[in-house]
Amino acid sequence: MSYVGATLFLALLLAVLGLHVLSLPANWILFGLVALWGWLVPGAHFGWQFYAILAGLAVVGEVIEFAAQYFGAKKYGATGKGNLGGMIGAILGAILGAPFFFGLGALLGAVAGAFFGCYFFERQHGRDKAEATRAAWGTLYGKVLGMAVKIGLGGAMWISAVRKIWP
């Protein structure tokens, strides 16, 4: 039974990583489920170091996602206001896009929202169309890179969990 239980739980954790597509905090949910497993399953004493590593990976994923969007926009000439617009746009885009394409709209909405949010804020603060478009592309590139790294770190969290949970 331990192999069956571990297999089902690891499949659940893998499915949780799919929540990234919905722009949900998949890495944090994975962390919480692993902690729940460690608490509920007799003999599954992972130690504080393991939990610290998982939490660290989740934090690093969030920081990199934010920083990649920020520095991507800066590299392409975005102002602070354009960067703020990109952040707001990404959040609104994810929320508004969630009901579309079976939830995949959240991912597309976050990326498009980052682009259009940056573009709108740049245009509202006097930048011409070409400058605003260039800054918005930088925001989009940074958002996509940040999301990819965050998802990859979620995969590393899953692999770490597999090594501890598999009997």
Domain borders along the chain are 2-165
- Residues 37-75 pLDDT 10s: 988 887 777 889 999 999 999 999 999 999 999 999 999
Report pTM: 0.86
Would you state the structure tokens that stand for residue 8, as one six-digit string?
A: 């089902």
The answer to whether 106 and 25 have CB atoms below 8 angstroms apart is no
Mean pLDDT of 19-47: 88
How far the first Cα of the chain sits from its last, in Å, is 10
Would you state the structure tokens that stand for residue 105, as one six-digit string?
A: 């709209």
